[in-house]
Structure 1
Amino acid sequence: MLNRVVLVGRLTRDPDLRYTPSGVAVANFNIAVNRPFSNQQGEREADFINCVIWRRPAENLANFMKKGSLIGVDGRIQTRSYDDPEGKRVYITEVVADSVQFLESKGSPSGGGGQPSSQGAQGYNQNQNQQPYSNQGNQNQGNSNQGNQDNPFQDSGEPIDISDDDLPF
């Protein structure tokens, strides 16, 4: 059996951080996830999905993400129920997140605002001009390893010596 959910969407409101009586952090949040097709009027619709996350990731989400922030959620579907004050049984289906990835930085042009670029946040910077393996800041042109700095993973043409014990299969 498998119960796995992976979602990418935007927060519809600021996460609601609370603490249990024993001091465990829990954050409830809702994300809007675009559907991959348009309706008959040519408009894109979205699904609004209730999620919950526990402990330190809940605190990080509440501290660093705000309404409109783009996030990735990895977790599982869970259904719970309770009796309301009128005696009716109420069922709630939600995603229990194992992890949340922050998918845009504070300075992102599509920004959701309030996100840090590094302070403990997980995710990546969507800056189009960023080139992690470029040679822009290197003033030393006499470096003999200059060719490998452009692409450190480039094949040098030499055979690789790997024993069968090192292979994972």
Structure 2
Amino acid sequence: MSLNIIHLVGRVGTDPEVKHFVTGSMKCNINLAVKRQTSQNDDPDWFNLELWGKTAEIAANYVRKGSLIGVKGSLKIETWTDKQSGANRSKPIIKVDKLDLLGSKRDNDGGQTPSYNDEI
């Protein structure tokens, strides 16, 4: 049996970076800062999030720097060859399947905490 599920709740570090493709699909990249439960004094851990489709569209329209969000997804390792040095590079990315917009009424002007699933 194998399992690759990640749940994170944190604050968005930058406004979403959106890419539209000629096929009509949409991709959104977000950086997420997550504090560890063990200590409030540590710097947060930063995660690169990748969202596609309707979930990416929702993030592009409603998520901004500082927004509190929750995500469910899976870990993938992106690998490439550096064009300048020829060295192999890699970085971890969380491929988001579900996005929850969290926060107060004042944060999202709606009062509810909508949830968006990539599986729709």
Is this a same-fold pair by TM over 0.5? yes
- Choose which of 100, 105, 110 in structure 2 pairs with 1:117: 110
Contact 1:32 1:46 in 2 (8 A): yes
Runs (4+) off by over 6 Å: none
Identity among equivalent pairs (%): 33
Question: How far does residue 106 in structure 1 lie from its aligned partner after superposition?
Answer: 5.0
Query: C-alpha distance in 1, partners of 2:10/2:111?
Result: 20
Q: Structure 2 vs 1, CA of residues 116 and 25 (structure 1 numbering), >3 Å: closer, same or farther?
A: farther
Contact 2:73 2:97 in 1 (8 A): yes
Match of 1:90 in 2: 89
Query: C-alpha distance in 1, partners of 2:28/2:103?
Result: 20
TM-score by length of 1: 0.61
Structure 2: 5+ residue runs without aligned partners? 116-120
Query: RCO greater where, 1 or 2, for CA within 8 Å and sep 6 or more?
Result: 2
Q: Which has the higher strand share?
A: 2
- Choose which of 50, 53, 57 in structure 1 pairs with 2:51: 53
RMSD, matched Cα: 2.0
Structure 1: 5+ residue runs without aligned partners? 124-169
TM-score by length of 2: 0.84
Aligned residues: 113
Question: How far does residue 44 in structure 1 lie from its aligned partner after superposition?
Answer: 3.3
Matches within 5 A, 1:11-90: 11-38=12-39, 43-86=41-84, 87-90=86-89
Question: How far does residue 45 in structure 1 lie from its aligned partner after superposition?
Answer: 2.6
